[in-house]
């Protein structure tokens, strides 16, 4: 009955949004408001605003939003609980993805490298290009410092959740893997004599993850990539729906094949797109090598005593943490779904591989993007003010790079398209696994059709609303996930000690 209730409500919401936008607001019809504005109004008034009041409730005496404080505290706790595993086993993680300890006899659907690239394809995306630009545009250079710090701490969060994802996964008779936060929340907490709490947290996580897959993992990617493409292909300003249809077709062709198809595409696309982007950043930084020290100095200076125009110290801290979490997703439990499908002999082994993600995603790629934007001064250029006001981070990054490499915006369009595409196919898997957990295998196709529908929807919804919706859903996943991580952290710490003992 509970599954039917959830399914019916979600179905009604999608029907209203996609097929009856005229019902969203009678007043909007009277004013001749466009369909796009009506959909935007619906998301803003009935979904974004109510959830924002809860998740971004400022802690008394501190002013920091509840969800931001929760993520920061959780990452700090796990870093100390796991005895700085993010530093101690960093080298071991690199050895594992190189296949040094490979064993084809291990059960699983994908390799360490494929699991890593699948998870990275969900995190290394527009959060690195658009998200970083938005953070600097709204919070100043100081936001970069907090993004890097949260990325470092997030390595421990990612290790813990992905270890648990492997530990509590289920291998079905057909060889398919069922794993992720929803499984260690329900089964792990059941072992700790909290069955009802575990079930509640698992269902809550799945609902938020499905929402996150439609928003941050899908529509937001379309919105941000389209915003950049419009600066290079002006025709898209009046024909944005064409991009929505194209992306819907391409995504649909991949996600129908499941995790093996997604992992195969991700293992090719992720290294290629990262290579293009990193080479461009290195070229720009290399030609402005003498300016890097002053840029780093500015980042540190404004991180602790930023200009009041950027919201003061707390404002910059909050912006940095939000964008870092949205970029690397450490602590929200999503990557545990991808890593649960990996072939491994020990759950901790996969956790060690996973801790590399925030390092690659945030500490390396996000930092390079930030330095390019700061060194070029793009975030202060009046010509880019409109990009900042409309949260068009991809366009801001393109402007920064284009000021040094005149033809690069055209190449960046290709890279951004690939970033968006790879993120979407990975998040479709996350959302689909959560959907199946709630409603069963037979409903998998229904989810995929809804996901494709939201891909098209992303081409006609404003960036600001989707950005806010994405933050709410994805950041919200941290609440049920971290409750489970706190309770199960002792078991992970014990398994980690055993792994290190056997490795010596």
pLDDT in tens, 40-56: 677 677 777 887 788 77
For 357, counting Cβ atoms within 10 Å of its Cβ (0-12 exposed, 13-18 middle, 19+ buried), the class is: buried
Res. 241 pLDDT band, cuts 50 70 90:
confident
| Mean pLDDT of the region 223-251 | 80
Separation CA 285–CA 371 (nearest Å): 8
- The verdict on domain 43-503 having CATH code 1.20.1740 is yes
Q: What is the pLDDT of residue 255?
A: 79
φ, ψ at 285 (rounded to 5°):
-70, -35
Query: Is residue 218 a contact partner of residue 458, using CB atoms and an 8 Å limit?
Result: yes
Residue 375 to residue 202: CA distance in whole angstroms: 44
Which of residues 374 and 466 earns the better pLDDT score? 374
446, pLDDT greater than 80? yes
pLDDT of residue 15: 36
Tens digit of each residue's pLDDT (9 = 90 or more) over 100-149: 655 554 555 556 566 666 556 555 666 667 678 878 887 788 888 888 88
pLDDT of 281 above 80? yes
What percent of the residues of the chain are helix, what percent strand, and what percent coil, each to the nearest 5?
Answer: 80, 0, 20
- Residue 180: how many CB atoms within 10 A of its CB? 33
Q: How confident is the model at residue 83 (pLDDT cuts 50, 70, 90)?
A: very high
Cβ neighbours for 118, distance < 8 A, ≥ 6 positions apart: 110, 259, 262, 263, 266, 267, 338, 426, 429
pLDDT digits (tens, 9 = 90+) for 350-402: 889 888 888 888 888 888 889 999 999 888 888 888 777 776 777 788 788 88
| Six token digits for residue 444 | 């998998």
Cβ atoms of 413 and 296 within 8 Å: the answer is: no
DSSP-based three-state secondary structure for 110? strand
pLDDT at position 274 over 70: yes
Q: What local confidence, expressed as pLDDT, does residue 210 receive?
A: 93
């Amino acid at each position: 009955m509970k599954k039917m209730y959830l399914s019916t409500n979600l179905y009604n919401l999608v029907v209203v949004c996609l097929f009856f936008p005229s019902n969203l607001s009678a007043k909007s019809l009277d004013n001749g408001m466009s369909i796009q504005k009506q959909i935007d109004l619906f998301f803003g008034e009935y979904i974004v605003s109510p959830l924002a009041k809860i998740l971004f409730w400022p802690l008394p005496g501190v002013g920091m939003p509840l969800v931001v404080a929760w993520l920061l505290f959780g990452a700090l706790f796990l870093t100390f609980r796991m005895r700085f595993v993010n530093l101690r086993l960093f080298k071991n993680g690199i050895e594992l993805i190189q296949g040094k300890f490979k064993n084809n006899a291990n059960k699983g659907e994908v390799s360490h490298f494929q699991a890593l690239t699948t998870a990275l394809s969900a995190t290394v995306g527009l959060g690195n290009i658009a998200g970083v630009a938005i953070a600097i545009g709204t919070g100043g250079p100081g936001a970069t410092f907090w993004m890097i710090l949260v990325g470092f701490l997030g390595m421990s969060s990612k290790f813990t959740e992905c270890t648990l994802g492997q530990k509590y996964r289920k291998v079905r008779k057909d060889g398919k893997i069922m794993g992720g936060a929803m499984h260690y929340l329900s089964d792990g907490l059941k072992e700790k004599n909290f069955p009802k709490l575990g079930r509640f947290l698992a269902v809550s996580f799945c609902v938020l993850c499905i929402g996150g897959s439609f928003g941050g993992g899908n529509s937001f990617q379309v919105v941000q990539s389209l915003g950049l493409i419009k600066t290079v292909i002006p025709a898209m300003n009046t024909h944005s729906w064409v991009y929505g249809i194209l992306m819907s077709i391409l995504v649909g062709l991949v996600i129908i094949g499941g995790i093996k198809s997604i992992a195969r595409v991700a293992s090719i696309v992720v290294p290629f797109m990262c290579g293009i982007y990193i080479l461009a950043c290195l070229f720009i930084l290399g030609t402005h090598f003498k300016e890097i020290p002053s840029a780093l100095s500015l980042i540190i200076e404004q991180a602790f005593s930023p200009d009041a125009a950027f919201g003061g110290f707390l404002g910059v801290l909050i912006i940095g943490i939000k964008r870092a979490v949205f970029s690397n997703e450490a602590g929200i439990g999503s990557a545990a779904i991808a890593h649960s499908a990996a072939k491994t002999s020990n759950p901790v082994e996969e956790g060690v591989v996973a801790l590399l993600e925030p390092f690659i995603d945030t500490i390396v790629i996000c930092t390079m993007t930030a330095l390019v934007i700061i060194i070029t001064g793009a975030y202060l250029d009046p010509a880019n003010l409109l990009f900042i006001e409309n949260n068009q981070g991809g366009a801001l990054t393109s402007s920064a790079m284009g000021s040094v490499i005149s033809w690069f915006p055209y190449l960046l369009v290709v890279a951004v398209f690939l970033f968006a595409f790879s993120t979407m196919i990975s998040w479709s898997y996350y959302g689909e696994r959560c959907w199946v957990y709630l409603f069963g295998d037979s409903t998998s196709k229904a989810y995929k059709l809804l996901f494709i529908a939201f891909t098209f929807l992303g081409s006609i919804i404003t960036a600001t609303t989707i950005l806010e919706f994405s933050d709410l859903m994805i950041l919200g996943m941290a609440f049920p996930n971290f409750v489970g991580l706190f309770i199960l952290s002792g078991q992970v710490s014990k398994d980690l000690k055993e792994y290190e003992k056997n490795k010596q």
